[in-house]
Amino acid sequence: MKDVILWTGAGQIGMAIARRIGSGEKIIIGDKNTANAEATAKIMAEAGFDVEWIECDISSRDSILDLIHKGQEYGEISALINAAGVSPSQAPIEAILKVDLYGTAVLLEEVGKVIKNGGAGVTISSQSGHRMKQLTPEEDRLLATTPTEELLSLEMLQPAKIHDTLHAYQLAKRCNEKRVMFEACRWGERGARINSISPGIIVTPLALDEFNGPRGDFYKNMFANCPAGRPGTADEVANVAELIMNESGTFITGSDFMIDGGATASYFYGKLQPRE
């Protein structure tokens, strides 16, 4: 039997993290796109990792449970890498809330019931959660603590309250951040830890499509005028994930780490400040 890493969202960021922490462990990749999951598993296997893939739609609790049960066939669940999600240009409001908000909350809840003592998890959020209008303490608490099956019924998440897909995405990522804080308390009862990372613009195949799409100028302006002056790489995200998931990070839980080249700082106090 081996320790098992559950990895959802078979993209570049998840792969970079899995390559840092997955040596000697069983890795189960879950992705709704089975062709993507299979191709990623092949790349990892050819690099020497013990990998299997399974179809997984994190907007479905049953699908999440299937992923967990698949992992438990090989041993105890020791780690979670959640890199699944959809972007504002990929999906409508309802899908963003169902996958990025509800799905992440359910995944953290269900994995938190089985994670082994000493285990750790990371969920990939976004700088977007830090760049929306501040919510009230009560609204933040509702996002953090509302039972998962009631989340999408919250008044603030009703279509009439949401301006567009970007607003939905921002709300989902704010919920991720708050949900990690809430779940850290539950994971801690099992001797395990959970944190989130909020990347800015990271170069991936999806990001390259965005750079050449309708919002391309917006993204190019963002990374050109952030303090770093460039987009980031998946390996730079993995640098932080490795820290917070290994023995050096055992005092880190319930936290969110922004890796955006200073874009959010520039949005509030620098060249990216919105014009009045």
Region class of 262: left (phi > 0), else alpha (psi between -120 and 50), else beta: left
Sheet with 26-31: list strands edge to edge: 50-55, 26-31, 4-8, 77-82, 120-124, 193-199, 256-259
Among the listed residues 26, 98, 169, 267, the single catalytic one is: 169
What residues contact residue 112 under an 8 Å CB cut-off, 6+ apart? 183, 186, 187, 190, 192, 194
- By three-state DSSP, how is residue 43 classified? helix
Among the listed residues 32, 70, 173, 178, the single catalytic one is: 173
Task: Assess whether 98 carries a catalytic annotation.
Answer: no
CA dihedral of 193, 263, 20, 190, whole degrees rounded to 10: 10
* DSSP secondary structure letter of residue 248: G
Region class of 229: left (phi > 0), else alpha (psi between -120 and 50), else beta: left
Residues making up the chain, counted from first to last: 276
Task: Assess whether 169 carries a catalytic annotation.
Answer: yes
Contact criterion met (CB below 8 Å) for 178 and 154: no
Residue 148 is encoded by which pair of tokens?
């998962």
Query: Annotated active-site positions, please?
Result: 169, 173
